[in-house]
Amino acid sequence: MNFVFTKVPSFTESRAQSLFSDFSELKFINPEGYDANILAWEHLLLQCLRVHTFQSSITLPAGKLSETLASPQYGQPKSLDLVVRTLVENRVLIPWSVYKSRPILLSLYADFLSPRRIWTKLLSKFDLSFHSPETAIRGSLELYLHIPTLISRSVEILKALEESVKSQGCYLAHILNYDMTRKLIKGFDKKLSDEDVEAVLLYLSRDLHGLSMQKVPGSKNTFAIKIGSIIDVTPEDLEILDLKINMLELDTRAALLEKIIYQDIPLRLSHLIRVKAREMVLKNLLIKKAHALQNLELVLAASNELAELLNKIDQAKANKTLYESLLSANSALSSINKKISITEIDRLTAELEAEVALTDEISDSLCSSLQQNENEIDEELDRMEKDYKDSINRREEDLGTHVNRIPTILGNHINTESEGLKDPDIDNFLSTKVKNLLLKPVLLQLNENAEDNVRSEKTPEVIAENYV
């Protein structure tokens, strides 16, 4: 047990003496220390379940707690009954005898919006006033359920059961008896004890409604279990379960006969031959083998027949499901069609056609108006281009007139200025004027700036003066 103590941080050497002592007085003189000790023991009990100290994962054996949790140095815990009582009061632990025997009122399941609230109500209904942890711990066969672990493990197991049933893809897989379900659950977790499995099935069926569990009429210990949260066990299910049980018994019988025929008898024959047994003994053994073979053939034939029947039942269930689906689909389709009137559809169709035709007319009218507007725009553009060309032509004519007048203007200007000059200066004057009044540069410049000159309305006299 020492290795379990090492996995709980609260169980240190400095606290061990207090934890194993009678710390009931701490509740009044040191409440924080008291609560810390209770919490430490709660963590230890949970760790015991996780490492399967008691060969279980959910239940704790009351009669073995003190002995198993004893310390080599401090002996058995002296406040264990106090710890258990506190955990029971807090509904962390619940005695198995109490949980198993207390029926749960269906009225408590009204609040489906809060499963946690439902579970709190359920726990509060358990009457634990008569329970004595001291008596339970001293050699009792009582078990304590660790409720948080029960809830979490049950949900995981239910999910595994549903996935297993779904993977088989047939209705028959939903219907099991207790032994079939127990073996299936232990296949998921081999560390679960039989009491753990029983507690899980009780929680899933009675409290969580994750499956249906019903006692088979006429039997004390046989239960029919059906995987599914909203499906009850029906008489048909009981008949199917009976066939499955019979088939399972036949398979078990067939396996036993095969062992006798192919293992036991050959070994026995080999031994008899080695010891040189009498011929009569050998013949009797061979006759026994022949009878076993005959029985095996009958058992296998019966098993095959039951398997075929179960297959047909499953097929019939599938047909029924399909038929019910067709009925539902037909009802839904009929209900929808009743809301639709053929006459109304014809009226709506006619109205839609009229509206579509009107829309087309409006669109055509809009397109015609747009085309007319485009024609007017083209005509306006042509007029603008013509006016522009006419303007350019007029400017070119005006420019030619101005250029032709330049020599005359220049001549007049030269004569005016030369009248006051002396003969020696005339040559210099004329030479300068000729250089400045080269007609070719003047004409090129006038052509480049013709448009600007026209816009600025310069006269030929001004133009000539600018180049003199």
Q: What is the pLDDT of residues 371-381, one digit of tens each?
A: 656 677 777 78
**Mean pLDDT, range 394-408, rounded to an integer:** 64
Q: Is residue 192 scored above 90 in pLDDT?
A: yes
What does the pLDDT read at residue 43?
A: 93
What does the pLDDT read at residue 109?
A: 36
Q: What percent of the chain has pLDDT over 90?
A: 32
Of residues 129 and 329, which shows the higher confidence score? 329
Mean pLDDT of the chain: 79
What is the pTM assigned to this prediction? 0.63
**Mean pLDDT, range 223-228, rounded to an integer:** 82
What does the pLDDT read at residue 319?
A: 92
Which of 105, 140, 141, 100 has its CA nearest to residue 125? 105
What does the pLDDT read at residue 254?
A: 95
DSSP string, 111-149: -TT-HHHHHHHHHHT---TT--HHHHHTT---EEEEHHH
Q: Is residue 221 scored above 90 in pLDDT?
A: no
**Mean pLDDT, range 159-188, rounded to an integer:** 89
* Alpha-carbon gap, residue 52 to 404, rounded angstroms: 126
Confidence category of residue 118, pLDDT binned at 50, 70, 90:
very low
Q: Is residue 345 scored above 90 in pLDDT?
A: no
Q: Is residue 208 scored above 70 in pLDDT?
A: yes
What does the pLDDT read at residue 124?
A: 54
* Alpha-carbon gap, residue 79 to 23, rounded angstroms: 7
Confidence category of residue 110, pLDDT binned at 50, 70, 90:
very low
Confidence category of residue 251, pLDDT binned at 50, 70, 90:
very high
Confidence category of residue 1, pLDDT binned at 50, 70, 90:
low
**Mean pLDDT, range 281-286, rounded to an integer:** 88
Q: Is residue 277 scored above 90 in pLDDT?
A: no
Q: How far is CA 306 from the centre of its chain?
A: 41
pLDDT tens digits for 73-103? 888 899 888 998 889 888 889 889 888 886 5
Q: Is residue 303 scored above 80 in pLDDT?
A: yes
* Alpha-carbon gap, residue 450 to 344, rounded angstroms: 79
* Alpha-carbon gap, residue 312 to 321, rounded angstroms: 14
- 50 CB-near residues (< 8 Å, 6+ apart): 57
Any idea what the Cα angle at residue 321 is, between residues 317 and 325, rounded to 5°? 170
